[in-house]
Amino acid sequence: MGLIGIDLHTDSFYVVRTRLTEEGRIRTEKKYELHGESWRLFTNSLNGEDYVLIEATTNSFWFRDRVLPFVRKCFILNMNKVEFSGNKTDKIDARRLLDLLSYYVHVKGVSELPSVYVPRPAVRQLRSLLSTYRLNRRIITQLKNRIHSLFKQSGVVTTRKKLFTKTGWAKAIESAPHELGIHVSLLCRQLAAAKKTGEDLADLIVDLGMETFQKEIELLLSIPGFSVLTAVVLLADIDNVGRFDSAKKFCKYLRTAPRVKGSNNSIRIGPVGRQSRSMTCTFLTQSVVHLKHAGPHFTSFYERVRTGKSAGKSRIALIRKTLVSAYFMLKRGKQFSWVNQELYERKKALVHQQMKRISKRSFGTVVNSNEIRQMTA
């Protein structure tokens, strides 16, 4: 059995390993490339009983998938739960990883190693699409803000909300000076393209989400305020509800559990933890208006917690309450307790129509390298 610590980079990785032989424990260090003959030399040096530890970085999942067939276990270290101090070089980082791996393998047990959960490939693809979708939403907001700013600079009095309506847009164009037209037209062209991209991304997410989590999505749709997209976001964040032992751990993972510090008779409730998945909470924040009317228990709960608390804390408390319900629904395979059956059936019918529309549409062709070069030149 060998233990391997790897400091991973974009095109290469530094390896420090220890292996027990007849002469004793041997420690070696070497740098490899991620492709070509160097990679083959690395994989040939591996043993089916080896343990590997790498840091969590952009290409960690990809590297793990490549190296896993050649080793016993490959762990991705959760850097939010470990703190290294002192100098930082490739050699030092790889040695630290090796020392940490050695401690958990020989002393504490590998099950206690603070590693990152590795989701299924389909869930990784969903997470990637959702990150791009959120980025696209930011771009749309920035473009709208820029267009509104240009009208304000030209003395056109209008709010951002009114501007992007048919009547508001017509009045703004009439009041704007002529030289503003070309500038706004270019931004509007970008805005239209961004909106079209957002629609395509949403359809891709829904299509892959229904293929991966159809049963779970249909359960979550019984909660007022949950759309297909919101349900997919939640399920992509958790992948499998069975890996959470309790609703508390479920909510903590989804960034809705506050930090608690207590000593003797003093208890201090702090802000929510930042070292977890955030997208579910972001999406549910937009559904608070519906969630607080999800059932009599939710309405009374929201009215109680909002007294003497800020709007942000009240929202987070309501979102956590909703996630606790979602946790037990997914665990038990049951619908929401206060489901509005008429609304639920209507939502399922809309999802069915959406899936039929998606199945008939085309997302275009994959661009080749020449087209990408022209777009990025």
Query: For residue range 80-124, what is the model confidence (pLDDT) as tens digits?
Result: 888 888 889 999 999 999 999 999 999 999 999 999 999 999 999
Q: Which amino acid is at 132?
A: T
- CA 153 – CA 148 distance, rounded (Å): 9
Beta bridge pairs of residue 176:
none
Burial of 134 (0-12, 13-18, 19+ CB in 10 A): middle
Beta bridge pairs of residue 266:
263
Q: Residue 89, Cβ neighbours under 10 Å: how many? A: 10
Question: How many helices and strands, by DSSP H and E, does the chain display?
Answer: 15, 7
Asked if the structure places residue 54 within a domain, the reply is yes
Task: Give Cα 237 distance to the centre of its chain.
Answer: 6
Asked if the structure places residue 371 within a domain, the reply is no
- CA 196 – CA 200 distance, rounded (Å): 6
The residue written with tokens 């958790």 in the block is 238
Number of domains forming the structure of the chain: 2
**160 in the same domain as 64:** no
**141 in the same domain as 204:** yes
**317 in the same domain as 291:** yes
**148 in the same domain as 281:** yes
User: According to the 3-state scheme, what is the secondary structure of 262-327?
Assistant: EECCEEEEEEECCCCCCHHHHHHHCCHHHHCCCCHHHHHHHHHHCCCCCHHHHHHHHHHHHHHHHH
**297 in the same domain as 196:** yes
Asked if the structure places residue 308 within a domain, the reply is yes
Question: Mind listing the pLDDT tens digit of every residue in the chain (377 residues)?
Answer: 899 999 999 999 999 999 877 777 889 999 999 999 999 999 999 989 999 999 999 999 999 999 999 999 999 999 888 888 888 999 999 999 999 999 999 999 999 999 999 999 999 999 999 999 999 999 999 999 999 999 888 888 888 888 888 888 888 888 888 778 888 889 999 999 999 999 999 999 999 999 999 999 999 999 999 999 999 999 999 999 999 999 999 999 998 877 776 666 766 666 676 667 889 999 999 899 899 989 899 999 999 988 888 888 899 999 999 999 999 999 999 999 999 999 999 999 999 999 999 988 776 666 555 654 554 45
First to last CA, the chain: 49
Examine the fold and report which residue of 86, 112, 138 is the final residue of a domain before the chain moves on. 112
**147 in the same domain as 95:** no
**Residue 52 near residue 71, CB atoms below 8 Å:** yes
**185 in the same domain as 92:** no
Tokens of 14: 């530094």
**92 in the same domain as 169:** no
**227 in the same domain as 175:** yes
Examine the fold and report which residue of 81, 112, 143 is the final residue of a domain before the chain moves on. 112
Asked if the structure places residue 373 within a domain, the reply is no
